[in-house]
């Protein structure tokens, strides 16, 4: 609870935390908008494939000419990672292969890494965390994004002595969304293609939010960081409002919808017939607590905490997350406390590529949010041979894959490389 003070003191000493940002998209721009009002934090370098776009982003969020002129702009993230004036590298490209390369370059250079790129984290996060530990630096989830916020809530619950029955987030979901493509995504957002284009919105990226892939990625990231379990059949997306979390997100044996305790799950803001859920959690995160004893359960009741019918399960939630506006918490925590805001520890799950339609041998997969596959969260022990969504990009199928079937490693012409080797090193044997 003293992070702002530590940052202010660092600034007063003339030693502000120096961050380097790779990827000046929406997440990065939200972070940049906050930097001028945070004492003790400086962005010394920004890397983007389009340097002028990065400068424009700085102007758009309100940076003045002097701040822009005092910042280095480069095209290559690895070059940024090697700079002497960078203490913390923020990887925000969204490209898993690029993100892994940038993170490894930063760790090799002795820099802390804040991984906004959850796509990269669910692919090889435990391996990157091990590399960070060997280098004596921090590898961290990005505060403001749902995985880090959930990891914080899980840690709070366990530190207070509660059992964690479930943890996750909310989203807008219907089963039909799994087959939505970038061609028809904007209708589900209430936008025309022209309006989306004018706003600079990428249809494939926004489709990954809708078709279930992003939720799978984030839930697996939470499972890997918190030692929670991934549902054996994938996420169920049960409709659930905040008042019903303690009832719905508990084991089936007790009347809930989970197959056991300690699960990750995403709740839907829509009923299956499309009606809105009352007091939905579309933008928020949650943790469901289980009282460890009768005395604690009694305290739930005495202090007005809403519970399930047994009185032993209760929910805590945040109704929102502020994305890049909160990212500085991770940057400052890594540099000033040498502490991650959540970090991947073990491979509990993977995000398997699933055919959106009947796919034919010779077709080339187009990855997350595209026309060919969507990502399904599965326990790693049941899906070690599944093709991860992070590797399902620009690879050709060697056989037909029916609609709804998981694509296997052996189904694609996948060349062995460092990323694949790193992924395999994370799979428990």
We report the CATH number of the domain holding residue 422 as 3.90.1210.10
1, exposed or middle or buried, with CB in 10 Å at 0-12, 13-18, 19+? exposed
Within-domain flag for 342: no
- Residue 198 pLDDT class (50, 70, 90 cuts): confident
37, exposed or middle or buried, with CB in 10 Å at 0-12, 13-18, 19+? exposed
- Say yes or no: 284 and 165 in one domain: yes
Q: Based on C-alpha coordinates, what's the Rg of the chain?
A: 21
Within-domain flag for 395: yes
Within-domain flag for 421: yes
Q: What is the average pLDDT across 71-100?
A: 97
Q: Does pLDDT of 211 surpass 80?
A: yes
Domain boundary among 337, 363, 380: 337
Residues 312-343 pLDDT 10s: 999 999 999 999 999 999 999 999 999 999 99
- Say yes or no: 372 and 260 in one domain: no
CATH number reported for the structural domain that contains residue 94 in this entry: 3.40.50.720
Per cent of the chain over pLDDT 90 is 95
The pLDDT, as a whole number, for residue 197 is 83
Return the residue matching tokens 């996750």.
168
Count: domains in the chain: 3
- Say yes or no: 286 and 381 in one domain: no
Residues 365-397 pLDDT 10s: 999 999 999 999 999 999 999 999 999 999 999
Q: In what order do the strands lie in the sheet with 17-22?
A: 72-74, 41-47, 17-22, 88-91, 112-115, 139-141
- Say yes or no: 333 and 363 in one domain: no
The pLDDT, as a whole number, for residue 48 is 97
- Say yes or no: 141 and 15 in one domain: yes
Residues 231-272 pLDDT 10s: 999 999 999 999 999 999 999 999 999 999 999 999 999 999
- Say yes or no: 36 and 59 in one domain: yes
Within-domain flag for 137: yes
Residues 130-142 pLDDT 10s: 999 999 999 999 9
- Say yes or no: 230 and 331 in one domain: no
The pLDDT, as a whole number, for residue 202 is 87
- Say yes or no: 136 and 30 in one domain: yes
Per cent of the chain over pLDDT 70 is 100
- Say yes or no: 306 and 329 in one domain: no
Q: What is the average pLDDT across 349-369?
A: 97
The pLDDT, as a whole number, for residue 199 is 72
Partners of residue 286 on adjacent β-strands: 168, 317
Helical (H) or strand (E) element with 376? strand 373-379
Q: Which residues, including other chains, have CB under 8 Å from residue 194's CB and lie 6 or more apart? A: none
Nearest to 127, CA basis, from 355, 415, 421, 335 = 421
- For residues 58 and 32, the answer to whether their CB atoms sit within 8 Å is yes
Domain boundary among 312, 337, 362: 337
- Say yes or no: 269 and 153 in one domain: yes
Within-domain flag for 80: yes
- Say yes or no: 219 and 274 in one domain: yes
Structure tokens at 318: 């945040």
Q: Does pLDDT of 290 surpass 90?
A: yes
Q: Which residues, including other chains, have CB under 8 Å from residue 178's CB and lie 6 or more apart? A: 211, 212, 354, 356, 374
Instruction: Give the CA count within 13 Å in the CB-facing half-sphere of 33.
Output: 14
Residue 353's domain comprises 349-426
- Say yes or no: 120 and 233 in one domain: no
Residues 220-242 pLDDT 10s: 999 999 999 999 999 999 999 99
């Amino acid at each position: 609870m003293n992070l702002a003070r530590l940052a202010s003191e660092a600034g007063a000493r003339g030693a502000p935390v120096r961050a380097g940002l790779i990827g000046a998209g929406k997440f990065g721009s939200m972070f940049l908008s906050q930097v001028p009002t945070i004492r003790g934090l400086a962005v010394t370098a920004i890397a983007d494939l389009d340097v002028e776009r990065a400068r424009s982003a700085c102007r758009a969020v309100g940076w003045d000419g002097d701040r822009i002129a005092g910042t280095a702009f480069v095209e290559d993230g690895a070059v940024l990672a090697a700079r002497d004036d960078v203490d913390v590298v923020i990887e925000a490209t969204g490209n898993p292969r690029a993100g892994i390369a940038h993170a490894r370059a930063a760790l090799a250079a002795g820099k802390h890494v804040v991984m906004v790129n959850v796509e990269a984290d669910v692919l090889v996060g435990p391996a990157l965390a091990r590399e960070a530990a060997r280098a004596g630096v921090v590898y961290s989830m990005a505060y403001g994004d749902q995985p880090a916020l959930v990891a914080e809530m899980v840690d709070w619950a366990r530190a207070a002595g509660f059992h964690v029955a479930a943890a996750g987030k909310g989203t807008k979901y219907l089963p039909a969304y799994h087959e939505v493509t970038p061609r028809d995504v904007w209708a589900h957002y209430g936008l025309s293609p022209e309006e989306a284009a004018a706003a600079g919105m990428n249809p494939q990226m926004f489709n990954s939010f809708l078709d279930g892939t992003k939720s799978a990625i984030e839930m697996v990231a939470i499972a890997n960081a918190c030692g929670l379990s991934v549902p054996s059949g994938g996420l169920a997306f049960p409709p659930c409002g905040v008042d019903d979390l303690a009832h719905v997100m508990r084991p089936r044996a007790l009347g809930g919808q989970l197959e056991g305790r300690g699960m990750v799950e995403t709740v839907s803001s829509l009923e299956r017939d499309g009606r809105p859920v009352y007091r939905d959690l579309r933008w928020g995160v949650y943790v469901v607590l289980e009282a460890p004893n009768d005395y604690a359960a009694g305290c739930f009741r005495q202090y007005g905490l809403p519970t399930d019918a047994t009185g032993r399960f209760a929910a805590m939630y945040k109704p929102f997350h502020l994305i890049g506006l909160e990212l500085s918490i991770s940057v400052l925590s890594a540099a000033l406390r040498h502490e991650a805001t959540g970090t991947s520890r073990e491979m509990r799950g993977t995000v398997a590529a699933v055919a959106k339609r009947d796919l034919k041998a010779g077709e080339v997969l187009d990855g997350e949010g595209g026309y060919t596959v969507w990502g399904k969260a599965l326990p790693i022990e049941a899906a070690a041979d599944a093709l991860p969504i992070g590797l399902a990009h620009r690879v050709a199928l060697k056989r037909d894959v029916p609609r709804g079937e998981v694509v296997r490693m052996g189904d694609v012409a996948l060349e062995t490389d460092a990323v694949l080797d790193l992924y395999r090193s994370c799979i428990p044997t």
